[in-house]
Amino acid sequence: MGVLDEIIVGVREDLAVREASLPLRELMDAVAQLPPTLDPMPRFRAPELAVIAEVKRSSPSKGALAEIADPAALASEYAAGGAAAISVLTERRRFGGELADLVAVRQSVGVPVLRKDFMVADYQFYEARVAGADLVLLIAAALTDAELGRFLELSRHLMLTPLVEVHTPEETRRAVASGAALIGVNNRNLQTLDVNIAEFEKLASLIPADRIKVAESGILAVGDVERVASAGADVILVGEALVRSGDPRRAVADFTAAGTAARQR
């Protein structure tokens, strides 16, 4: 069993506990009362590189990254630096996150918020919407074609923008065939946790020009930003480099400027 498979086992166990305490019907009723979500796509389609800045306490590969006692304060710094969206990890066991982090971030920023988790059940999408998410992550490696198609439809029904994440040529072809408009290439293999930033360069050419390309993982410095931007990234998703930077506002601004310059060369 790879790392991704192990994580999903824990996700399903934690999900069962939440479902027992708050029935899906109640979440569905709550969703019906919510205002529209924020649309990230206009900013993602702009000429400037867009940064999705991540609230990330830890990871399976690196362990603890940052304490982040106040996710809302960190998100506010990201937004002040020009982040196009904020990603919030809500998986508890390996990433130290929780839905309460997303709720706090949503209340503190005016930009779209992504629920970064391992989405394997309808319940999680309603949960994300109620917590204040505008986007959700769909990991192709964790889903069958049927599940991917159903979750894309459910996301749109709930006014959530789906980010479909891929790591291999086959997953990329599946994401493109699904009609996903926002496709992220994860430079980290979620089964082995190995990182190779060349994955984006290799797979970006398989994504049609009318889709938005997101580079994820392994982006630690300005040189990495320039590299993926030159290879066609419209958006980058960055966590570790920002939470460890000491000045997240400045780091987001620097990454945005460097990527934008690289895209215009």
* Residue 96 in tokens: 């130290």
Q: Using a pLDDT cut of 70, give the percent of the chain over it.
A: 99
216 is catalytic: yes
* Residue 38 in tokens: 């924020």
Q: How many whole angstroms separate alpha carbon 173 and alpha carbon 176? A: 5
* Main-chain dihedrals φ then ψ at residue 95, nearest 5 degrees: -115, -5
Q: Summarize pLDDT for 211-243 with one digit per residue, the tens.
A: 999 999 999 999 999 999 999 999 999 999 998
Q: Summarize pLDDT for 76-122 with one digit per residue, the tens.
A: 999 999 999 999 999 988 888 899 999 999 999 999 999 999 999 99
202 is catalytic: no
- Domains and their CATH numbers in the chain: 3-264 (3.20.20.70)
186 is catalytic: yes
Q: Summarize pLDDT for 17-49 with one digit per residue, the tens.
A: 999 999 999 999 999 999 999 999 999 999 999
- Catalytic-labelled residue, pool 77, 98, 165, 226: 165
Res. 65: pLDDT tops 80: no
Give the pTM.
0.95
165 is catalytic: yes
* pLDDT score at 66: 74
Indicate the SS3 state at residue 11.
helix
